[in-house]
Amino acid sequence: MLSTDDLRFFCALAGQPSLSATARLLDVTPSSVTQRLQAVEDKLRLKLADRQGRGIVLTEQGQLLAERAQAILSDMEALQLALHEQRDELAGRLRVLAPIGFGSVHIAPLAARFRALHPALAFELELSDRPNLRLHEGWDVVVHIGALRDSSLRQQVLARNRRFLCAAPSYLARHGKPSTLDELDGHACLALRENEEDATRWKLLPPGASQYRTLRIEPALACNDGRVIKQWALEGHGIMQRSEWDVAGELRSGALCRVLPDHALPEADIVALLPASSRQRTWRTRRFVDFLKQQFARPSWLEAR
């Protein structure tokens, strides 16, 4: 009789083009994959896969096993989750994608805290400066900062977040503090390249104006890591555009000063991206998003606002 481990193994093999690819996926040797496949075939006394060149092709019986095995494993997971939910426990795997900077500072500690509250839950957090926002890739929640063009995703605001232009006092002492948008021309600007955004296009709303003005900058320094941009600014290398969550402490301490403080930049709220259909949102997903909203009800970066 096949075990659940046999079913999981065969589902993994069925999703790969070759035995060597399966070995890489499972982090084992190709010979062990061959032996494991042979053991499953021996249990059933059936041929489940044929080698073709360097690849494998499932037999008719192998295709049937892969389909039924996946359904059985899904039903088992659903049953386990239902049993846990009856006791108000969260179980299963929760996969979350978040930006590197905000994710490491704010999401990672909250993920650990949430996992401590729900020990039966397996939590997987991936941080990226170029996140893939397609939820069908396997993410349960994507934490995103700023506007999003894709309207097929449900967005829940986790926290409000403003953006500022700011620079170190040492830079402003050497180069002067601009008082108008036109005076920004000629200043050293620092550009953060992330989320496929146009980092050289700054939008600001002058006081009393009804429309944003767009300023095209020529970056003196550019990087895809916000921590580097912030460090450059603190060292006095130029003016940067940065989120309030990241610079609120430095603005309070005086390590950074706002530039053109009477000009508003487009807000960049922190949002959770979820599948549009409520059926695709698991109980653990909804509970985690509610947990984030509760924790960000009064964000730490607003303490002295």
What does the domain layout of the chain look like in residue ranges? 4-85, 89-161+269-302, 163-259
Question: What would the mean pLDDT of 61-87 be, rounded to a whole number?
Answer: 72
286 pLDDT higher than 80: yes
pLDDT at 114 over 70: yes
- Phi and psi of 292, rounded to 5°? -65, -45
Residue 287, pLDDT above cutoff 70: yes
Instruction: Calculate the average pLDDT of the chain.
Output: 84
Tell me the per-residue pLDDT of 9-58, one tens digit each, with 9 for 90 and over.
888 888 888 888 888 888 888 888 888 888 888 888 888 888 877 788 88
pLDDT, residue 284, reads 84
The CATH code of domain 163-259 reads 3.40.190.10
Dihedral angle sign, alpha carbons of residues 246, 298, 98, 147: negative
pLDDT computed for residue 89 by the predictor: 63
Which pLDDT tens digit goes with each residue over 154-165? 888 999 999 999
Question: Where is mean pLDDT largest: 8-12, 68-72, 199-203, 245-249?
Answer: 245-249
User: 109 versus 152: which is more confidently predicted?
Assistant: 109
Output the pLDDT for position 87: 55
Query: Are domains 4-85 and 163-259 of this chain identical in fold?
Result: no
pTM of the model: 0.67
Query: Beta strand pairing status for 92-99 and 121-128?
Result: parallel
Q: What is the pLDDT of residue 128?
A: 82
| Contact partners, residue 232, CB within 8 Å, separation at least 6 | 190, 221, 223, 238, 240
Rounded distance between C-alpha atoms, residue 165 and residue 188, angstroms: 12
What is the CATH number that goes with domain 4-85?
Answer: 1.10.10.10
* Residue 231 pLDDT: 96
Confidence bin at 136 (pLDDT 50/70/90): very low
Q: Which of 102, 93, 99 is nearest to 132 (CA)?
A: 99
70-74, 114-118, 230-234: range with highest mean pLDDT: 230-234
Q: What is the pLDDT of residue 13?
A: 83
By DSSP bridging, strand 141-145 and strand 92-99 are: parallel
- Specify whether the CB–CB gap between 18 and 77 falls below 8 A: no
pLDDT band at 105 (very low <50, low <70, confident <90, very high): very high
Q: 56-60, 199-203, 208-212, 300-304: which has the minimum mean pLDDT?
A: 300-304
Confidence of residue 238 (pLDDT cuts 50, 70, 90): very high
Residue 299: per-residue pLDDT: 80
What number does CATH give the domain 89-161+269-302?
3.40.190.10
